[in-house]
Structure 1
Amino acid sequence: MTTKSEPLEPGALLYDPATGRVGEYRDRAGPYVLLRPVGGGVEWEADPERLRPATDRERLGANVRAVNHRTRSLPSLPPPLDDDSRPPRPVPGCAACAELAERREAARAAYDRSAETDANVLLRQHQRREHRA
């Protein structure tokens, strides 16, 4: 449908029946035109004589596919931290809390994550027994 005399604007959405895809017009490359998938991706060459403007339905479908692809490719956010996932804080003035917090800091300084976790568990257990009403 498009001819060599028809100027195409970069970004125009065209349907390529050879691939069954909608692409954004980028530029000409010899006898072909370069199309890029909506939302980005690897360009492909298409015969300009076979291309036609994309219908509203085709445009919508291409945009939905682009958004879905972008959503799947983004890293997921970590879950929000709650009180149980944060290291417990020692209660001021409590000798047992201070001793367990020191044990945790010594393990952290030695890069001993297992001992650090053990100290956190013991500190939580102590706080539940002794400091919760």
Structure 2
Amino acid sequence: MESGAWVYDQVAGAVGEFKGNAGPYAMVRPVGGGREWQADPADLRLATPAERLSAGVRVANDRARAGVAQPVPDLSRPPEPVPRCVACALLARERRKAQGRFDHSAVTDANVLLRRHLWQDHP
């Protein structure tokens, strides 16, 4: 497993970010931050897209309840893809290809699609 991969701990029943190994244990960090926990590597598997989405929504809801303001996007700058998100990576790749062709219309389209994806799937 790569460091940074989102995993599901079957014993804890929680999604977290794999940070590395510490002796015979895997170190997992809660999504959104917090104290790492140790898990048996045999009890970990890659999190499904639904589990990843659910964990991300839970973190966003917790932050909203705590009164942490969400930043307003700066539309004058291109959107940044979320690390380890396949859809974000594909859209960012399309944007880079369009930039290489100097196709500014396609660059704008990719930015719009990436912003829409970020808004819908990464609240």
Offset at residue 32 of structure 1 (A): 0.5
1:10-68 residue CA offsets vs partner (Å, 9 max, x unmatched): 21000001010001001111100110111111111010012111111101110011111
Amino acid at match of 2:17: E
Pairing of 1:1-133 with structure 2 (within 5 A): 8-74=1-67
TM score, norm. by length of structure 2: 0.52
Offset at residue 75 of structure 1 (A): 5.5
Q: Distance in 2 between matches of 1:26 and 1:45?
A: 10
Aligned residues: 69
Amino acid at match of 1:9: E
The alpha-carbon distance between structure 1 residues 60 and 75, as it changes in their structure 2 partners (threshold 3 A), is: closer
The alpha-carbon distance between structure 1 residues 46 and 72, as it changes in their structure 2 partners (threshold 3 A), is: same
Structure 2 regions of 5+ residues with no counterpart? 70-123
TM score, norm. by length of structure 1: 0.48
Question: Secondary structure at 1:19's aligned position in 2?
Answer: coil
Q: Distance in 2 between matches of 1:13 and 1:63?
A: 11
Instruction: Give the structure, 1 or 2, with the largest relative contact order (CA under 8 Å, sep 6 or more).
Output: 2
Larger Rg: 1
1:54-95 residue CA offsets vs partner (Å, 9 max, x unmatched): 11110111001111112222367xxxxxxxxxxxxxxxxxxx
